[in-house]
A and B are shown apart, each in its own frame.
Chain A
Amino acid sequence: MNFPWLLIILLIPLIASVLLFIPKKYVIFKDQQIALYSSLITLLFVIVVALQFDTSSNAATQFDISFDWIPVFGISFHLGLTGISLVLIALTAVLTPIVILATEHEGQKKNREFLMWILLIEASALAVFLARDLFLFYVVFEAMLVPIFFLVGRFGGPRKNAAALKFILFGLAGGLVMLAALIWLYFAAATQLGRGTFSISALSNELNLDIWTERWLFLGFFFAFALKAPMVPGHTWLPDTAEQATPGTSTMLIGILDKVGTYGMLAILLPIFPNASKEFAPAIIGFAVFGVIYGALIAIAQKDMKRTFAYISISHFGFIVMGIFSFTSIGMIGSTIYMVAHGLSTAGLFLTAGYLIRQKDNSLIQNFGGLTKAAPVMTGLFLVAGLASIALPGMAGFVAEFMVLTGTFQVYKIPAIIATLAIVLAAIYMLWLYQRVFTGNENKDSKNIVDLNKKQILILSPIVVLTVLFGFYPTPIIKIAETSIANTMTYVGVTDPQPIIEKVVSK
């Protein structure tokens, strides 16, 4: 067996969270130190792995590590790295230390517990992106509801209890439907392959389901992923949760964990259920486009900043799903970049606004106004994050959105055109929000707002740097994701549509 890089990456945040769980007197390090250093070491290991990642290899996964877990059912603890998972674990590893640094105040007296849950989220996010066994994927997919549930319920706003309950119920509803589909898939595979297996590679390479089974199973898994991502109309838990959760929780939830839904579509649905994916693609594109427009329109009408961000995300998830189901490599790579761009811009929005919300203990837009003078740096940072979110050229979001729209347009012309309208709507929701919160008449206590200090600027700067970097130079992500996307395309059995060039007859 090779050096277990992936296992170590997984274990660091897990051990750190255990250290934060056992009574303080037995641990020599300070809470904040444990959390910060463990997340930084994780980041370091991810970087080391990323540097060793062979982009030229055609192998489906690299750095594989596998132990038997429940051999009777052919279940193994199998971790492996695909290009897409590398992109997403890198996003996780980058955002976690930023969240830990930026949310020093959120845990207040229960800071130790707050950090423990954040690290557990990091560990489960890493596990879910690295899992190459469908059962392991499912287990983590469900288990990671618990840390968010506690974060929302323990640290959230006045209606946190209802929000936490709604969150976990939506999660369980999706998860249990997926469980039924998972077991069915196991038997279908056992009948056909002669051995029960949950290995994602085996299921995608060898399985050839009859079409009705495939359709039902596809729907079972899709239901879970669409609730998680979330797509309209299964989205209503997200605004409620985001409104009540602290900005740090929301960043982890929307920035990282919700990507599990779209990641699942890309890495599990398409390879294992290629035929059903193709059949349902037009309908899903329809839902996605509807979500794009609906999310953007509702975002305009929100009175609460955090709810606005949630609806913006719903709109963006529509774009990601659209790119995935366009079945073009440019669309899928666009979606992968979109996941990164969205993670970064969500973190930027929530964390910057978090500093503001914390000072007023309130996130209603009407309570703010004219902050440009009192807090110029915050204003600037928020504008950058906002513009990144609405895909201004030069930001990562632009590259992603452009690729997604191009990819979709090659196959679905009208949906792509309709989705383009969201760019206009995006300008409305973001600039209008900016206008109401930061410009205009100074609110009576706007003067009391304290601007970001140097430390806080430094904490948030990686987000801006990365957003701009990938805006101008998305090549690293494309290079890393290319092979896995090409593999996925092969599983589905589609090729990129060839451009048709009409012969121009010169007179």
Chain B
Amino acid sequence: MIQTVLNSIPTPSFEYALLSPILIMFFAACLGVLVEAFVSIEKRRFAHLIIVFTSLLFAFFAVALQSGPNGRALVANGTVALDGPGWILQGTILLVATLSALLFAESKVDPLGDAFASRASTLPGGEEEKTVTKLGWTQTEIWPLFLFSICGMLLFVTANDLLVLFVALEVMSLPLYLLAGLARRRRLLSQEASLKYFILGALASAILLFGSALTYAYTGSLEFGQISNGISSANNSPGLLTAAIALVAVGMLFKVGAVPFHQWVPDVYMGSPTPVTSFMAGAVKVAAFGGLLRVFYVAFGALVWDWRPLIWVVAGLTMVVGSVIALAQSDFKRMLAYSSISNGGFILVGFSATNRPAIAAVLIYLIAYAFATVGAFALLTLIREQAGESSTLIRWKGLGKKSPLVAALMSLFMLSFAGIPLTSGFTAKFGVFTAAISGGATALVLVGVLASVIAAVFYVRVIILMFFSDPIPDGPFVVVPSVFTTIAITSSALVTIILGLFPQLIIDLISSASVFLR
């Protein structure tokens, strides 16, 4: 009896080589936990840095070596899809996360140490906090958390099964909730951000899970390919399916920060330590959109005519609301948060086209945006006052006089966000608009054009403040970073320029890899 049951369960096939990027990050994260347990406190930081950068490097090599045409397969019993977009997304996440890791590792710009609280458990403003800060302790647990989060992202963008997707989402998000609350400066704000992110994130996860359950109820499967078949063949009531898709959509759109599920973004981006914010706006954004693409293109692809109008509305709202509210922001981090929302809208414009150019356009947009946004946040960490980063925009007046280089690079990223030609932002915008027009959404492109003009106002205003205004007395100063931040800024600037001047390089890479396996 037992024997027959056991025989009826297929032996899971597990393609270790193809899954190696995920496994490497998972292994590294576990190793990080062991480091916390066994390595002496003075050596921990160094050990973590070695583990993190080595594992990122190896994982990236694993992606690069296997992502060729031979490396495309459904693995782990069809629950993970390693296809062109999957590999591209994994590679992008690893690269962008590396830049964020460089910011995590920076400990020279703040005289007190890195960007994280010395001991998260101490009371903000209390005596104990002062003591541990004076002792120069650092919260090295950030590193395993960071690695687990990346592990979750790598799985999230390749998950081909709603349950795996959910698990990946949680592995990716839980560390982020913690990381968001660990800022060294303005700790109350940071803890508030963490709590807010956790509660809203948990709610969204629950909604996604409920949606998955309903999908299972309707189609009898959790695997994307089977869901797609089930939708075409099942004769159940369409109401169930509508509810299922709506709930999954809400869960996913929350993660990407689309209007009207965007309220968490500004508070969380503002409260989190800036390296973590860069991680959320960069790698997490890439992962969230990657997951969204796969779920809707593969699992719900048969219903494109039903959900597309919804995405049009969400995309239009996201662009306009994000841009308009960003106009009123006086804090740079908050402004970039709304800019991230608005950029999400542009990605949705490309996403709504649901054809092959759309996949390529979304991927290119994600790459261009992720690098530029990490660069902008990295520059923010250099602009400081006694009390920490100086993110009040009005105080940036005349920054161009104090540090032409920082101001010029910041202007480069702002121009890229504004979509000025010869920067990566223009390539990206051209791509999504092209995809949308080929998908018949010309009206949406016009809304996008309008939103771009509105958005240009606040991007350009940063340049005006830095270069065209006279410095204020006791304004912020610019610190010289260590090699970590320097590398991060230089690489994002290079990517921004190169993708602007020679977009062919990336178009070739991506359009050959923009088909989902199902």
Binding site for B on A (CB under 8 A): 68-73, 138-140, 142-143, 145-146, 149-150, 153-154, 160-161, 164-165, 168-169, 172-173, 176-177, 179-180, 183-184, 186-187
* Contact, CB under 8 Å: B415 / A180: no
Give A1 to B511 CA distance when docked, in angstroms: 31
* Contact, CB under 8 Å: B438 / A187: yes
For A72, what are the chain B residues with a Cβ–Cβ distance below 8 Å?
504, 507-508, 511
* Closest Cβ neighbor of B357 among chain A residues: A72
* Contact, CB under 8 Å: A138 / B467: no
For A183, what are the chain B residues with a Cβ–Cβ distance below 8 Å?
430, 433-434, 437, 445
* Contact, CB under 8 Å: A164 / B504: no
Give A173 to B430 CA distance when docked, in angstroms: 15
The listed residue (A71, A173, A180) touching B446 by CB distance below 8 A is A180
The listed residue (A68, A69, A153, A180) touching B449 by CB distance below 8 A is A180
Q: Using an 8 Å CB-CB cutoff, how does the interface string of B444-469 with A read, 1 for contact, 0 for none? A: 01100100110011001101100111
What total of A-B pairs shows CB separation below 8 Å? 80
Give A161 to B456 CA distance when docked, in angstroms: 15
* Contact, CB under 8 Å: A142 / B420: yes
> Measured between C-beta atoms, what is the minimum distance from A47 to chain B in Å?
29
* Interface of chain A, main secondary structure: helix
Interface range on chain B (Cβ under 8 Å from partner):
20 to 34
* Contact, CB under 8 Å: B457 / A165: yes
For B238, what are the chain A residues with a Cβ–Cβ distance below 8 Å?
none
Give A280 to B44 CA distance when docked, in angstroms: 73
Give A180 to B442 CA distance when docked, in angstroms: 8
* Contact, CB under 8 Å: A153 / B468: yes
The listed residue (B442, B456, B460) touching A184 by CB distance below 8 A is B442
* Contact, CB under 8 Å: B422 / A177: no
User: What 20 new A-B contacts, CB under 8 Å, besides A139-B422, A165-B460?
Assistant: A72-B504, A73-B434, A142-B421, A143-B420, A149-B463, A153-B463, A153-B464, A154-B467, A154-B468, A161-B468, A164-B468, A165-B464, A172-B453, A173-B453, A176-B453, A177-B449, A179-B430, A180-B437, A183-B434, A186-B434
Give A70 to B505 CA distance when docked, in angstroms: 9
* Contact, CB under 8 Å: B467 / A172: no
* Contact, CB under 8 Å: B464 / A164: yes
Q: Is B165 close to A, CB under 8 A?
A: no
Cross-chain pairs A/B with CB under 8 angstroms, 27 sampled: A68-B504, A69-B504, A70-B504, A70-B507, A71-B504, A72-B507, A139-B421, A140-B421, A146-B415, A150-B467, A153-B464, A153-B467, A154-B468, A160-B468, A161-B464, A161-B468, A161-B469, A168-B460, A169-B460, A172-B452, A172-B453, A173-B453, A179-B433, A180-B437, A180-B446, A180-B449, A183-B430
For B419, what are the chain A residues with a Cβ–Cβ distance below 8 Å?
176
Give A57 to B453 CA distance when docked, in angstroms: 43
Give A71 to B452 CA distance when docked, in angstroms: 26
For A180, what are the chain B residues with a Cβ–Cβ distance below 8 Å?
433, 437, 442, 445-446, 449
> Measured between C-beta atoms, what is the minimum distance from A223 to chain B in Å?
11
> Measured between C-beta atoms, what is the minimum distance from A136 to chain B in Å?
10
* Contact, CB under 8 Å: B453 / A165: no
For B388, what are the chain A residues with a Cβ–Cβ distance below 8 Å?
none
Q: Is B503 close to A, CB under 8 A?
A: yes
For A164, what are the chain B residues with a Cβ–Cβ distance below 8 Å?
464, 468
The listed residue (A140, A150, A169) touching B453 by CB distance below 8 A is A169
